[in-house]
């Protein structure tokens, strides 16, 4: 299963834990596909994505979450691997 497919299945705390495991494994095996492999770059991308996330949701015709869900956290973690 692709990482993006796993992202779409995050609905619970347990799902998020599994997703983070697979995200970490993806970094180990596919770091050349990541845009942000250092902690500093990853956190900077996370900050930028959270700042811009209302526009991201708007562009995808999705409502901005009023309260973050387990899926929202997974979205942030996944996006931070490549967001610039």
Query: Model pTM?
Result: 0.89
Q: So what's the pLDDT on residue 74?
A: 97
Output the pLDDT for position 65. Answer: 87
Enumerate residues 6+ apart whose C-beta is below 8 A from 41. Answer: 35
Beta carbons within 8 Å of 78's beta carbon, 6+ residues apart: 3, 4, 7, 19, 23
What is the number of structural domains in the chain? 1
- Confidence grade of residue 13 (pLDDT, cut at 50, 70, 90): very high
pLDDT exceeds 90 at position 1: no
Rounded CA separation 1/52 (Å)? 28
16-59 pLDDT, tens digit each = 999 999 999 999 999 999 999 999 999 999 999 999 999 988 99
Spatial contact of 81 and 43, defined as CB atoms under 8 Å apart? no
Query: Domain limits at 46?
Result: 3-80
């Amino acid at each position: 299963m692709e990482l993006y497919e796993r992202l779409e299945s995050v609905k619970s705390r347990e799902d998020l834990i599994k997703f983070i495991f697979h995200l970490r494994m993806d970094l180990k095996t596919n770091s050349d596909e990541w845009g942000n492999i250092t902690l500093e770059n990853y956190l900077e991308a996370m900050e930028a994505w959270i700042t811009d996330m209302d526009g991201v949701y708007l562009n995808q015709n999705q409502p901005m979450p009023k309260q973050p869900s387990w899926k929202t956290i997974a979205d942030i973690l996944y996006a931070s691997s490549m967001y610039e």
